Amino acid sequence: MADETGGSYVEQGKSFDRDMNYIPDRIVREPVEGSDPPQWPVEPGRYRLVAAKACPWANRAIIVRQLLGLEDVISLGLAGPTHDQRSWTFDLDEGDVDPVLGIERLQQAYFERYPDYPRGITVPAIVDVPTGQVVTNDFPWITHDLFFEWTEHHRADAPDLWPAEVRDEMEEVMQRVFTEVNNGVYRCGFAGTQEAYDEAYDRLWTAMDWLEDRLADRRYLMGSTITEADIRLFTTLARFDAVYHGHFKCNRQKLTELPHLWGYARDLFQQPGFGENTDFAQIKAHYYVVHTDVNPSGIVPQGPDESVWLTPHDRERLG
């Protein structure tokens, strides 16, 4: 069975290895005909971002779309938090059908373009509304291109999510966050041996300690302003105590016990675009119901208390 990004669940005797082969097409301002991978034109109103608030990888795209003010340019379809082996479904919509695409399963948009699509049906995905075909599900490039290629459609005061002066270092930070934290929690949760788990656990907490130290004297990962790096880390931190601490056995400490990371996470949560797109009920439903090999009972925990996310963080003092 595939997870939200196509990786497999627990395989006995093996370490977790995420499948990173996605549909590589990109949507760009000046597409080159015959390019490999194919390029599609930036065109307001043409595309629909299909995402799920339950999924950390899709949650990034939802946040970036709102921060950049692209709500009226790229429509948003939201899948429900649980799915079967076939596909994410639109059970949040009336009649269980996406009102724009007219489909019950995201799988239908994939098959419309690739009738024998062999990989997991993942979110986020961008769908070409006129044809009903999936364009891309390459999640790192989706948010990258929303910033760089859709610039003329950003709202006037949109944040600079990729500041030129720190971009090289930011790429290094994001790579470490991805491999060691975003993917690191999955490496713990889906480990198939004790040895694989122990190694994954040590790697995760080495990175968490690095982040705790980094955020001791700077408000955000790259300084005093929010960047793409923060969005990528936030969606993992938002799920840490609710899911990863127990469900994925990442239990050395809770996020609330890490003073700098916890203050940083609350700071982001309380910013426009972050907390309002974080749905803890959907997050817990996804992990605890879908991951039957990790949680065979399907019982969804009631806690933790969500109100703590709105407590003061005092991060403004860092600039």
Annotated binding-site residues for glutathione read: 88
Please report, in range form, the residues annotated as the binding site: 88
Query: Which position among 186, 197, 220, 244 bears the catalytic label?
Result: 186
In DSSP terms, 133 is beta-bridged to 128
186 part of the active site: yes
Sign of the torsion formed by the C-alpha atoms of 214, 4, 308 and 92: positive
Query: Which position among 22, 47, 55, 220 bears the catalytic label?
Result: 55
In the numeric block, the tokens 């919509």 are attached to 93
Segment holding 31, helix H or strand E: none
- Helices and strands, counts by H and E, the chain: 9, 6
Listed as own residue / partner, the contacts of 106-111 with beta carbons closer than 8 Å and 24 or more positions apart are 106/50, 106/79, 108/132, 109/50, 109/133, 109/134, 110/134
Q: How far apart are CA 197 and CA 191, in angstroms?
A: 5
Using DSSP's 3-state secondary structure scheme, residue 200 falls into helix
β-bridge pairing 125-128 and 39-41: unpaired
| Inter-residue contact 137 to 23 (CB < 8 Å) | yes
Q: Taking the mean position of all CA atoms in its chain, how far away is CA 237?
A: 11
| Inter-residue contact 219 to 313 (CB < 8 Å) | no
Using DSSP's 3-state secondary structure scheme, residue 313 falls into coil
In the numeric block, the tokens 């975003």 are attached to 182
Which residues are tagged catalytic? 55, 186
